[in-house]
A and B are shown apart, each in its own frame.
Chain A
């Protein structure tokens, strides 16, 4: 007998919903509340904040146009310098040379740090960056600081991104001669919902209203849908494309089915691996036993590491076009590196990263239930798409002889975001160029803690959005009057491996033997990815919730989410546990 229907539509409405619902509004800090409000007065712009570079694009009425800054650059370095009193970012300021960025005064790679706690390995790997990343390893946000006049001046990733967004906004306003409010931002697929709230926070600080947060490969998919819309408008034949996007900070994969301008995301996969990892592995390869030097915060050491970083980066770039390169760098501390590095060496030291990339592709194809022969096009974009090994590994994993041509690898994501901005702003195009739609899918599973310390997914990953699913749980103890609903996001089997999104308590469960009360938990994700969690108690034989249903917008946790889960565990232990009712497999 199947009890869980995970049907989209709940039993609470059976008797006409006589009772009012009890809701908890989420923290007003986030701007998402008004996301996707109905009135669009202007065309939203698309912004791609990359780990290393960013760009802005807009639909200019007939096509997507990338906006250039005063120095005529379409791609701007993502960094903010705290050299003077007023911080300035890579959009407006021009640095004399690369070395300035690495002096400790500039903060960059914020996309890798935003919304992460100090137990996160990605945060630890950022410690070799020239600025200060201080961790205590207890699950709180790391301290980030820039070196200003020999003082470590603290900042936050949100602040850095916001400063940067303000510059981008100002630039776009000058170029477009109108105020900018609405934006579509691209984000890595592996971003947790908590990280998304941090991005939204940064946008709010910059006075921008987030219309959509779009996983990068889905933005590329939309561009692909537009490029192919004219070919198969009415034939209904769909093309399946695999999109591999690897930048400096993240690697994302998506499988999309495209027909008639509609891009339907079948599956998403992503991980925080990118060019930064390649660079760091290479730095360690060029200068073995450099761990203490890399993380040292002495002025001279920072300078030396900066020199090494620049040299390594140049070497990697050269290896994309030639098979070996001469590295010749004086680190200024008595160490000189003079070495010929060939492509094979580079590929060998980064084997782990490349293997991970291949695994992401395989996982994504598997989730999408697509075979390699069904894939019509393989699209490789992002800064790392110039690396020969990346190209060959994507081709071999997808069993394809060639890659899709016709997309600028660096501009694809931002162009897709601009298209989405135009579509979501309600624009139409007489030639049908905006007759587009992205049907998104959830990048990570969302569920609650139940059956002890297990994570029970309610909405699995790669579920088409908007989505609504429910699952029935029950009490773990006799006469249990309260239950804790702890919502997580991720792929781990145990809750600790996943991101905590929030928690709330269900109270007033009628006293009954364990297993009798039905606790129905409904997750609802709308098209703009807003998550709501509803939970109510039902007693057997009744179709009306015992008490008003709880409805909570998630995520509700702010900082220190690692602590929250621990504290909950310590205070309540297993007294407020839930167990799943037999589920359909």
Chain B
């Protein structure tokens, strides 16, 4: 449940750079963007909620923990879970070593095995599986009348906030006072002439005609994303400097991902051998154990001391 809570209360989609980073590393087992022990995560731990702790301070996500790829099906996850349990369950590995690890395994398994929890979790860590519906995301334009091959898009990076377009075609454009720039509210909300005037009236030519297929991606990417803070540095909001380039690489990655999934589905067993899975599990476990200075293990030391004291002595 931690995950669901986190993803709701701290629902944050990764910014464009993280998206790119993630997709370029999709085939690699270890994702880098939640690195353990980095200054960023330490500072974050101090001020974020417990659920977040779980994800960050351990330095790996549930997929890494189980040693499965993001698009693994239930059966694969089950198998990985069982193999890891067989190694690390307290019955096998002993109480001191096994307890914490198995707790995490159980949590990861529970989340990944339930479709709704998994979706929320994926959103919270920035993974994306399956058909990703962009239209469900907030500030997108709707269509007046039938879908047409092209739609209007305001590059909000370039917009200077002159309100000319809103003035000429008030049903189509809307001015976002918070962001200080205009955007499209309703495609073809006004008649063609008005729209044409409004597009021409833009002093910086930031209103573009784009293919309707591209529109959702662009509208998604142009939304300002919260930026990770590094102590007193950074933070705030950001959007890609060139939204069209960002959209291009986004589409490419999405395509690759889908393609990869299809080919993987057709050749079932080319994934990884159990030995590889084991090696990976060992590695991630080692990382975890090494992080003795991590806050998480400190909690466990704290908790085990009073209780387990008698046991150890």
Contact = CB atoms under 8 A, between A and B. Distances in A.
Given A23-B306, A262-B86, A527-B102, A15 B46 contact: yes
B75 A236 contact: yes
Interface residues of A, number: 58
Interface residues of B, number: 51
Contact of B49 (A5, A257, A259, A466): A5
Contact of B298 (A16, A524, A551, A584): A16
B8 interface: yes
B49 A9 contact: no
B2 interface: yes
Interface in B260-281: 274
A8 B307 contact: no
B interface, over-half SS: helix
Q: Which of B4, B85, B98, B303 has the most CB of A within 10 A?
A: B303
Contacts of A37: 311
Given A11-B50, A21-B303, A21-B306, A527 B89 contact: yes
Contacts of A1: 9
A238 interface: yes
A151 interface: no
B50 A424 contact: no
Contact of A7 (B1, B90, B106): B1
Residue from the set B78, B98, B104, B306 with the largest chain A CB neighbour count within 10 Å: B306
Nearest to A534: B303
B303 A551 contact: yes
Contacts of B79: 236, 259-260
Of A7, A34, A439, A524, most buried by chain B (CB within 10 Å of CB) is A7
Nearest to A470: B50
A417 to B, nearest CB: 13
B30 interface: no
A5 B6 contact: yes
A439 B299 CA distance: 25
Given A238-B78, A435-B86, A437-B85, A14 B307 contact: no
Given A14-B46, A437-B86, A439-B89, A464 B110 contact: yes
B299 A527 contact: no
A366 interface: no
Nearest to B294: A13
Pick from B1, B86, B91, B96 the residue with the most CB of A within 10 Å.
Answer: B91
A11 B107 CA distance: 17
A5 B91 contact: no
Interface in A14-36: 14-17, 21-23, 25, 33-34, 36
A13 B82 contact: no
Contact of A23 (B50, B90, B307): B307
Interface string B275-313: 000000000000000000001101100110111001100
B28 interface: no
B86 A9 contact: no
Contacts of A527: 89-91, 95, 98-99, 102
Contacts of A470: 50
Interface string A221-239: 0000000000000101110
A466 B110 CA distance: 13
Interface string A68-104: 0000000000000000000000000000000000000
A367 B241 CA distance: 51
A479 to B, nearest CB: 27
A5 B1 contact: yes
Contacts of A245: none
A423 interface: yes
A172 to B, nearest CB: 22
Contacts of A264: 82
B294 to A, nearest CB: 10
Contact of B103 (A234, A236, A468): A468
A437 B89 contact: yes
Given A21-B302, A21-B303, A468-B103, A259 B78 contact: yes
Most-contacted residue by chain B among A17, A22, A25, A257 (CB, 10 A): A17
Contact of A13 (B90, B103, B302): B302
B92 interface: yes
A5 B8 CA distance: 11
B73 to A, nearest CB: 11
A98 to B, nearest CB: 41
Contacts of A433: none
A108 interface: no
B53 interface: yes
A477 interface: no
B54 interface: yes
Contacts of B85: 262, 437, 439
Contacts of A21: 302-303, 305-306
A420 B85 CA distance: 15
Given A7-B2, A527-B91, A551-B307, A14 B82 contact: no
Contacts of B75: 236-237
B303 A14 contact: no
B14 interface: no
Nearest to B80: A236
Max chain A CB contacts within 10 Å: which of B50, B79, B299, B311?
Answer: B50
B94 interface: yes
A11 B9 contact: no
A13 B53 contact: yes
A257 B82 CA distance: 11
A534 B104 CA distance: 19
B1 A6 contact: yes
A12 B299 contact: yes
Contacts of B40: none
Contacts of B310: 25, 33-34
Interface string B66-80: 000000000110110
Contacts of B53: 7, 9, 11, 13-14
Enumerate the 8 nearest inter-chain pairs by beta-carbon distance, A residue then B residue, closest first.
A7-B2, A13-B299, A527-B90, A23-B306, A236-B79, A5-B5, A5-B51, A262-B82
Given A7-B53, A584-B4, 11 more contacts: A2-B9, A5-B49, A8-B107, A11-B53, A13-B295, A13-B296, A38-B94, A262-B86, A423-B92, A468-B103, A524-B303
26 contacts: A2-B5, A5-B49, A7-B5, A8-B2, A8-B107, A9-B54, A12-B302, A13-B296, A14-B46, A14-B295, A16-B298, A23-B307, A33-B310, A33-B311, A36-B94, A236-B76, A259-B78, A466-B99, A466-B102, A466-B106, A469-B1, A527-B91, A527-B95, A527-B98, A527-B99, A532-B307
